[in-house]
Structure 1
Amino acid sequence: MKNRTNNRSYELTDFSKLSNKELAEAFVFPSKTPVTVQEKKEEEDFWIERRKQFANRTPQQQIYDKLLQLKFQLEDYVVSNQYQAVLNFGYFLNEYVNRQEKPDKEFAADIDIKPAVLSQYINNHRRPPEKFVIRLELHSNGMIPALAWFKLLQKDKEHEIMTDTGIRKEESKHIKNKLEFAY
């Protein structure tokens, strides 16, 4: 049986003539050779050593790991198509502060803002200006770029625009000669 595609001829095999074992051997890669006792011991030793290293991280390394995890969580959320109200700018800012194991007041002093202003940003009572987002990037030594924080703010704003029916109702009062289309 032949099949012609793009002026090439391919021979098709009639698989009905083959046994199940022959088919499996032809399409399934053989499993890895059995692990020796020595290999098992080496793997166990590796994981024991790895757990020791993990447990003996310095406090600074632990904070770094937590912030790196937050960065990846923030970046994944920003590029996703879903909006989750709990994952707003205030949430990520609060996580950023908490993962450093610093009081809000100390963090506010680090970035030269008043603690009350920081609280307003965390609780989404106030939208942060550009300079604040730049300070966050500088404070993290570039680990979490300002662009990621801006994208997060943008995602919040997009959701607000899409769901705020009140502003549409208020602004519709200013519209005359609205275009009419049948669709």
Structure 2
Amino acid sequence: MEKKSKNYQVVDISKISDQDLADAFVFPKTTNSSAEEKREEAEFWSDRRKQFENRTSEQKIYTKLLQLKFQLEEYIGNYKYEEALNFGYFLNEYVSRQEKKDKQFASEVDIKPAVLSQYINNHRKPTEKFVVRLELHSNGMIPAISWFKLVQKDKEHEIMTNQDLRRMESKHVKNHLKLAY
């Protein structure tokens, strides 16, 4: 079997200007008239608006939950603590963005409605089992670890700011280290 060789031209690119290189590899913008560009853009946004308005109920809920996921991830990745953005807030948003009643959601994750209410109102800390159920309920959209990090962020703030706890526990500490700092 005989090999056919292709002839390639070797070019010294050091002799080609940056502009010529860019022109060779970048697709030039077609020169539409300003009126034509505006018409195309208006058409694009009109089509986009129609798609947005014609979303199914399921697509709307998915979008709302995706927004919540990004908001939650941004918050837990941020060092700043905001008391209003606690576990209960995000759990309440998760339930309400699905347009479900608390009782229905509690049933779906096999907890009593009163327990759900305690979680939402920050009267009870969620268990590991519950955050795993949240992950499973969202079909993995919002991982259990994200819910857990949110709980931890609340706990970190509580530990850092609880002066009463420090006063009470100081009674149990003897021989404090006396180091210069």
Coarse TM-score class (shorter-chain normalised): 0.7 to 0.9
Please show how residues 1-183 of structure 1 align to structure 2 within 5 Å. Answer: 35-183=33-181
Q: Where has structure 1 moved over 6 Å in runs of 4 or more?
A: none
Q: TM-score, normalised by structure 1?
A: 0.80
Which protein has the bigger strand share?
1
Deviation, 1:42, is 1.2
Deviation, 1:34, is 7.4
Deviation, 1:39, is 2.1
The secondary structure found in structure 1 opposite 2:65 is: helix
Q: CA RMSD in A?
A: 1.3
- For structure 2, the 5+ residue unaligned runs are 1-29
CA deviation vs aligned residue, 1:111-150 (integer Å, no higher than 9, x gap)? 0000000000000000010000000000000000011101
CA deviation vs aligned residue, 1:2-55 (integer Å, no higher than 9, x gap)? xxxxxxxxxxxxxxxxxxxxxxxxxxxxxx977432222111111001001101
Letter in 1 for 2:178: E
What is the CA–CA distance in structure 2 between the aligned matches of 1:35 and 1:147, rounded to whole Å?
A: 52
What is the CA–CA distance in structure 1 between the aligned matches of 2:59 and 2:154, rounded to whole Å?
A: 31
Q: TM-score, normalised by structure 2?
A: 0.81
Letter in 2 for 1:122: I
Fraction of identical pairs, as percent: 69
Q: 1:90 to 1:35 in 2, by over 3 A?
A: farther
- For structure 1, the 5+ residue unaligned runs are 1-31
Report how many residues are paired. 152
Deviation, 1:77, is 0.2
